[in-house]
């Protein structure tokens, strides 16, 4: 009897202590929490403030436009469109968002991470080479690359926080949907974060950090700022 009690307690304890692993964004404490669109708010909470549910409408839970590509910035090589809490207020507290990416042939979505979300991509058109880096537990100065060539209908996942990239290896445009388990996944583009910071990271730090000369660092700053 006491043995079963011990095992049951252990199982419950392990479940409770591990359960935050399954939920990155806050779990909702109400049925709906449609975000108030108030850019002047001076109250900051972990998420957005809910509007009175009486004033919620179907349009708060609706978005359109993923049937067409976003507008590519000149030279960007592709375009992305995201439906997240910032343009679909009904997503507030739901821990989910989606996007569409269109990438020109032989162009790259450069090394980046999403600090708050795992990303799941589904290729709709074209051929992608996608990969992510996992720190090697035996030597954290090394990593392992997990990568795949992806065709229409293929799905690939980039675990939360890990550095990843997508490259269009085909000879026509590639289009894919991208889903996140966060209402606001965040984006950190590694080269731009480091070489385009404001204020800039001092030369001595960057030259030593990347084992490059000041001239090379200047060149990288110019490219990524």
Q: What is the 3-state secondary structure (H, E, C) of 121-151?
A: EEEEECCEEEEEEEEECCEEEEEEEEEEEEC
Q: State the number of binding residues for ligand NAG (CB under 6 A).
A: 7
Q: How far is the CB of 37 from ligand NAG (least distance, A)?
A: 4
80 vs 194 by CB, closer to ligand NAG: 80
Which of 88, 25, 90 shows the shortest CA–CA distance to 51? 90
58 vs 138 by CB, closer to ligand NAG: 58
Task: Answer whether the bond into residue 141 is a cis peptide, omega within 30°.
Answer: no
| Positions 110 through 169 that interact with ligand NAG (CB under 6 A) | none
Map residue 7 onto helix, strand or coil: helix
The region of 23-31, 62-70, 141-149, 157-165 touching ligand NAG under the rule CB under 6 A is 62-70
Q: Sort 38 into a burial class: Cβ within 10 Å, 0-12 / 13-18 / 19+.
A: exposed
Told to check if 59 binds ligand NAG by CB under 6 A, we report: no
| Positions 70 through 99 that interact with ligand NAG (CB under 6 A) | 87, 89
Q: Tell me how far apart the alpha carbons of residues 84 and 71 are, in angstroms, rounded to a whole number.
A: 17
The region of 64-72, 90-98, 160-168, 190-198 touching ligand NAG under the rule CB under 6 A is 64-72
83 vs 133 by CB, closer to ligand NAG: 83
Tokens of 34: 């449609």
Binding residues for ligand NAG (CB under 6 A): 37, 39, 64, 67-68, 87, 89
């Amino acid at each position: 009897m006491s043995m079963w009690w011990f095992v049951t307690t252990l199982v419950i304890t392990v479940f409770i202590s591990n359960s935050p692993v399954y939920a990155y964004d806050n779990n909702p404490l109400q049925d709906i929490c449609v975000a108030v669109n108030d850019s002047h708010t001076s109250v900051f909470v972990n998420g957005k403030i809910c509007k009175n549910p009486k004033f919620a409408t179907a349009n708060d839970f609706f978005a359109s436009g993923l049937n067409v590509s976003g507008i590519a910035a000149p030279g960007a090589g592709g375009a992305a469109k995201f439906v997240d809490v910032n343009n679909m207020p009904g997503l507030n507290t739901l821990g989910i968002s989606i996007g569409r990416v269109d990438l020109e042939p032989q162009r790259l979505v450069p090394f980046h991470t999403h600090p708050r979300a795992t990303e799941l991509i589904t290729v709709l058109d074209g051929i992608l080479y996608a990969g992510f880096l996992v720190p090697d537990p035996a030597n954290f100065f090394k990593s392992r690359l997990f990568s795949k060539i992806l065709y229409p209908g293929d799905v690939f996942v980039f675990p939360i926080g890990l550095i990843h990239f997508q490259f269009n290896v085909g000879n026509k445009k590639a289009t894919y949907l991208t889903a996140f388990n966060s209402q606001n996944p965040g984006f950190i583009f590694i080269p731009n974060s480091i070489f385009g910071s404001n204020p800039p990271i001092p030369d001595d730090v960057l030259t030593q950090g990347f084992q490059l000369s000041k001239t090379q660092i200047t060149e990288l700053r110019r490219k990524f700022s």
